Amino acid sequence: MRRSAGGLGLAAPAATRGRISDGHIVIQDGQISYPLPVRTDAIARCDAPELALWDKFITTYQRRGRARMTLHTSITAQDSEEQAVRFVGQFVLHR
């Protein structure tokens, strides 16, 4: 399982992986919750989707000029595994 700094940190490499240089990434929709406070340094994590999903994302963009992917991001305090912030966002790559 790969981890990244956050959802946008995964969406941008997806574009470069497909050798796309003419796209723009936006967050089309998102939901966020804050179940716990963070009083120390925080760590953002986003699970990378399977490679097949990345490939479909790039193929869709190349064919239609637009592709969507939902990514789940969580933030924990540096010394904890409990999720303090949860974010689910739909990222769109478009021309």
Give me the CATH number covering residue 22.
Answer: 3.10.129.10
Residue-wise pLDDT tens digits, 47-65:
888 989 988 998 999 999 9
- Of residues 12 and 80, more confidence is placed in 80
How many domains is the chain partitioned into structurally?
1
Let me know if residue 1 belongs to a domain: no
Domain that holds residue 19: 7-94
pLDDT given at position 4: 42
Which of 15, 36, 27, 37 minimizes the C-alpha distance to 89?
27
* Structure token pair of residue 81: 């595994």
For residue 40, the number of C-alpha atoms closer than 13 Å in the C-beta half-sphere is 7
The answer to the question of residue 2 being in a domain is no
